[in-house]
Structure formats: C-alpha cells, structure tokens
Amino acid sequence: MAGLPLAPTVDEVARVQRRTVWVLSLGQVLGGLAFGATLSLGAVLAAELSGNESLSGLAAASITLGTALTAVPLAAIARRRGRRLSLTTGMAVALAGVALVIVAVGLQAFPLLLVGFAIIGAGQAANLQSRFAAADLATDASRGRDLSIVVWATTIGAVLGPNLVGPGEVLGDAVGMPALTGPYLFTIVAQALAIVLYAVLMRPDPLLLAQRVTASTPAAARAIARADRPVAARYAIFAVAAAHGTMVSIMAMTPVHLTHLTHGDSDAATLSIIGLTISLHIAGMYALSPVFGILSDRVGRVPTILVGQALLAAALLTASFGQDSTVAVTVALVLLGLGWSASTVAGATLLVESSSEDLRTRRQGISDFTMSIVGGAGAIVAGGLLGWIGYGGLALVVMVLVAASVLMAPLGWRASRRPATEGNTGG
C-alpha cells in the first residue's frame, strides 16, 4: 500500500474510498459500453451462424453461464490478491472471449461462437464484483450510497453500447472484419481501457487496505467477527437472486410479447416500441440506484428490499392485467427495473454488512453465481410458460418469487439496522 502508513487514519481511508468509487464508476461505464455492444449482437450472430432463429437465445445463455462460472473464482482472486487483480483478470479473460467470437464468425463455427460468449461472461462477472469493491472501505452511513453510485454508472455504457452497433459495422467493414463483428472494435477498446484503468489507478487496492485496517485494529476485527450474521447473509443472497430471476423472466419475454401485440404494424414500428420499452427498462434498473442506496442507508436494508418487492409486485400486476396494452407493458418494465434496482442495491449492501471479513468475498462470489444461474434458469423457464399460459399468466407465476422474498424478510431484519454515526470503516 505505497503512499499510506501502516495504520492509515480515517481521513486517509476516506480519501482512498472516494478515489476507488470514482475509478470503479469509470470502469463500469467502460464495462457497460463493452457489454452493451456484445449483448446487442449476440442473438443475431447466433441465429446467423446456426441457421436457426430458435437458437438465438443461446448467446445470452452462454454469457450468463460464463458469468456464473467465473463469479466464484474471481471472488477467490480478490480475497487472496485484491480487487485490482480480480477485476483486471475478469476483463482480460473477456477480451480473449471477444477475440474468439470474431474468429468464430470468420470461420462460421457456431460451437466456437458459444464458447467465446461464455468466456465473455467473465467481464460481466467483473462488472458485478465492482459494486462489492465499492463497499470494501465504505462506512455504515455511506455503504449503500457508494455501492449504488457504481451501479448507476452502468447506465451510461449500457445506453451507449447498443447505439454503437451501426457505426461499428461501418468501421469494421473499412478494416476488413467479418460481417456483423465491426461493433466489437468498440468492445475491445472499452475493455482494454478498463484493464488499464483498474491496473494503474486502483492503488491502493481497496480490499487489501480494508483487510490491513482490520488487522491493525484488534477491537474492530473482533467487532466484525461478532457481526457475522449467516442467516441474514443467506436472505440477502436469496433476495438478490429472486429479484434478478423476476426481472429476467419478464424482460426476456417482453420483446416476443410486444412482437405479437403489434402484429400488423410495420417492422420499423414494432422495433421502435421494443427499443423504447427496453431502453426505459434499463433506465429504471440503473438511473435511480443512488436514490435506493441512500434510502437503504437511512431507513435500513430490509425495508428498502421490501420497497423493491412492492415495485416488482406492481410491475407484475401491471404486466398481467395490462398485457394487451403496449403502454401498460412499458410501464410494467419501468417498474420492474426500479424494483430490481432497490432489491439488488439493498440486498448487496445487506450481504456486505452481514458477513465477517474472512467470509465476505466468498459470499459475494456465491451471490453473483446464484444471481446468474437463477436469471438464466428464469429466462429458459419463462419461454415455456409464455407459450403455455401467456404473458399475463407468466407474470402471475413469477409473483411467487416476490412473495417468498417478503415472507423471508424477518430473517434479514435484525442485520438491517440504522447506520451508526461513527465511521466503522470496512466493516
């Protein structure tokens, strides 16, 4: 930890924390930019190389699987070597995945394409880990806010990424890249910049510094060890995974439902409605995350999770009873994004403060793994339910996840306390 004394002061730790949040936020912009362009083309490339549109969803499924499989290993790297190495490793692996996707398109090799997308999932796992990195040095009074600021930064990249597909294809044609892979030039640049950003500017490493601060203060270490609440931590993992499963199940099926709903309209009109709905949904997911972060700091983690569940329930009811209206479906998707934001921001914060220092990163990896697996399974199951009971029926079935999160809330309630006025940095 060059530049800091063996036992840094509260002010010095606070200065490092501000710098860390800034670096992580910029990294999320770059990561969101890279991932947004990747996800936009995934289904198209899968359909193109397989020759079967029904296999287009395997691109997103492969990314989700890759995210799940790399979440725990990246968390283990963070625990042993720090966030800097973990985040740069995730982005570097994803960069190799992008190169493999481009090669697969050039060779017209569908299995290789799916392997490439799975490897790209490591970048998404790194993006997910960033929100926990924002909490390593945070105090009780600012943990939710700092975490949510990093989540909010994803908005910029997630919105810009898909809009670079057109210019990227023109640029790719100019340099002789395989068809439909030009936008990955922006992905490569964004991920390379993120690697440099984390490697150069994330010094000192926030997790290693937090560990050092804890080790140098025996009283703080004992307090953090006593603060471990495994039941509350399990609830936090469940609440985040359930909210993610709820969101993905409905969001993944909405474009299909809107296509049927606008049958008879021009393709351009249908695509415009779908694009607007998904854009507003993404805005709901990220744009107000600082509001929910501040709310969780001021009123508590579990109350904010319950606010998220109320928003998710409102979204599902609106989607079910308003399934024949494009306006109602759009409103439902916005509410869905807001509910996901409140639940995941507060849930991630609850997980951090319910875990002792030696268990924290391991549980964070498990949470990201569970979240990704549930989301992937939700998308697969939702496809079958859509064909069986329709969009409205799907929304009502998914309500089971919301009900479970509400009923289990008392498990996490004791750990969701009003933050203390003193620092309590890192724990």
pLDDT, tens digit (0-9, with 9 covering 90-100), for 226-277? 568 899 999 999 999 999 999 989 988 888 888 888 776 666 677 678 777 8
Q: Among 99, 65, 130, 116, which Cα is nearest to 286's?
A: 130
Residues of the chain with confidence (pLDDT) below 50: 1, 417-427
CATH topology of domain 1-216: Growth Hormone; Chain: A; (1.20.1250)
Residues of each domain in the chain carrying CATH 1.20.1250.20? 1-216, 228-415
**Amino acid (1-letter code) at residue 168:** G
> Residue 427: what pLDDT?
43
Segment 5-36, tens digit of pLDDT: 556 778 888 899 999 999 999 999 998 787 76
> Residue 423: what pLDDT?
42
Dihedral sign of CA atoms 328, 333, 334, 339 in order: positive
Report CA Rg, the chain. Answer: 21
> Residue 31: what pLDDT?
84
pTM of the model: 0.85
> Residue 322: what pLDDT?
96
Q: Is domain 228-415 given the CATH code 1.10.357.10 in the classification?
A: no
> Residue 5: what pLDDT?
55
233-246 CB burial, b ≥16 within 10 A, e <16: bbbbbbbbbbbbbb
Question: 38, 106 in Cβ contact below 8 A?
Answer: no
> Residue 422: what pLDDT?
38
